[in-house]
Structure 1
Amino acid sequence: MRKTLITYDTSQLPISLQSYMNDAPIYDSSSSENARTLFIDGAPSLFLKISAKGTLEREYRMTEFLHAHQMAPRVIKYISDDTHDYLLTAAVQGADGVDRHHINDPEQLAAAFGRHLRRLHELPLTGCPYPGRSAEIRQEAIDSGIPASLLEEPNYVPIDNVIIHGDYCLPNVIMENYHLRGFIDSGYGGIGDRNYDIYWGLWTLKYNLDTEQYHDIFMEAYGKDDVNMDGVHYFSQLVDWTE
């Protein structure tokens, strides 16, 4: 996780957030053009995500849901003002999946990555704030311009029966010596089809490790019998059109 020490004018934040800064060193830890993420190196350490108004509510609600199952950081505060959303969370001990301590052993990383996804998909559905994710993902693809006829995969119909992360990539899994400490950036999650997360897991392993040779380790650790490659292909089509 990239962290760059910066000088930050905390007076531009809502007053209720300023007290959490406590003159602590502040680092820019952003990984997206759509949001700014600040690491506050205080006691305790915190992360503050800042994005356009209305864009962080889903992440706030999914983070709270996953935290209740000890799989996400604790939400300290969520605020939405006239222009921005602010999501303040406790920092999770550990490092993400692309940290050198993890990525230097790609076989162990791929196996852990599969096991952690399986744990997520075995969570109970009760209380999840966002059901019906496959229909939402499909609609997003249609809204982006894909003809609906191209989404009629003859061999696959999505089944929403697990909690999905929605952006299951190595940077969004915090581990300590490959042991799960929490999922972050879960704003695309909800009750969805497991093969959507499988698709992203395969994608990130290829992208971050620059090879497909660890795909089988990932799927074996997850449970290969429960992976439907027709479903993975179905969701790859949707992603191709929405990216």
Structure 2
Amino acid sequence: MKMTEVSFDIETVPSTIRYYLKNATFYDSSCSDNAKTVFVKGADGAFLKISKKGSLEREYRMSNFLSTHKVAPKVFAYESDLENDYLLSEAVSGEDGTSELYIENPNKLASVFGEYLSMLHSLPTEGCPYKNRTAEELNELTNKEASLNILTEINYSAIDDVIIHGDYCLPNIIMDNFSFKGFIDLGYGGIGDRHYDIYWGIWTLNYNLKTDNYKDIFLDAYGRSKIDRDGLTYFTQLIKLCD
């Protein structure tokens, strides 16, 4: 995770957020055009994410939920003003899955990446604030009858029965020497079908490792008995249709 020290005017954020920023040093760690992310180096490390109003509520609620299961950073504060949302979360120790240490050990990376996804999918769903992720995805296709026909041709009925990350990619898992520390960027999470995350896990290993040679290690570590081939085909097509 690249960080560049920057100046930051704490008077530009809501007062409840400002409280945590006093006497801190700031580093830009943004990795998306949709949000600005600042590492706050003070007595306790934190990350401040700033994005347009209403865009971070889901991430706040999912992070709050998953932090109770100790798999996501604790949320210190969530506030909005007329233009923006502000989400301040603890900084867990470690590096994301794209760090050099992990990329240079692809076999182990693919294995633990599968294990940690299986762990996420084994969490209890009670209390999760978002319960119908597949329906949300399908709603994007309501005006695309031809696209929906493609899905009905696949012999699979999606089952929203596990907690999914929603963007299960290597930058969104934090580890310390391969030891799990937390999931981040949870704004697409909720109760969904496991094959949605499995698809993205395969995609990110292929993208970040520049090869699909580690797909089988990932799937073996996740647990082949829990994977339906038609389910993976279904979500592969669904994701491609939504793009």
TM-score (norm 2): 0.95
Distance 1:43 1:144 in 2: 52
Contact 1:199 1:236 in 2 (8 A): yes
Structure 2: gaps of 5 or more residues: none
Distance 1:240 1:76 in 2: 36
1:115 aligns with 2:115: yes
Change over 3 Å in CA distance of 1:144–1:23 after alignment to 2: farther
**Post-superposition offset of 1:140:** 2.3
Distance 1:234 1:131 in 2: 19
- Aligned equivalent of 1:24: 24
Distance 2:181 2:33 in 1: 26
Which residue type is aligned with residue 201 of structure 1? G
Distance 1:233 1:149 in 2: 14
Which residue type is aligned with residue 125 of structure 1? T
- Aligned equivalent of 1:192: 192
Distance 1:153 1:66 in 2: 35
- Aligned equivalent of 2:171: 171
**Post-superposition offset of 1:141:** 3.8
Aligned length in residues: 243
**Post-superposition offset of 1:117:** 0.3
Distance 2:57 2:129 in 1: 11
Distance 2:170 2:146 in 1: 28
1:97 aligns with 2:104: no
Contact 2:46 2:90 in 1 (8 A): yes
User: What are the residue-to-residue correspondences of 1:146-185 with 2, within 5 Å?
Assistant: 147-185=147-185
TM-score (norm 1): 0.95
**Post-superposition offset of 1:172:** 0.3
Contact 1:156 1:234 in 2 (8 A): yes
Give the 3-state SS of the residue equivalent to 2:101 in structure 1.
helix
- Aligned equivalent of 2:12: 12
**Post-superposition offset of 1:111:** 0.4
Distance 1:122 1:147 in 2: 31
- Aligned equivalent of 2:131: 131
Change over 3 Å in CA distance of 1:5–1:141 after alignment to 2: farther
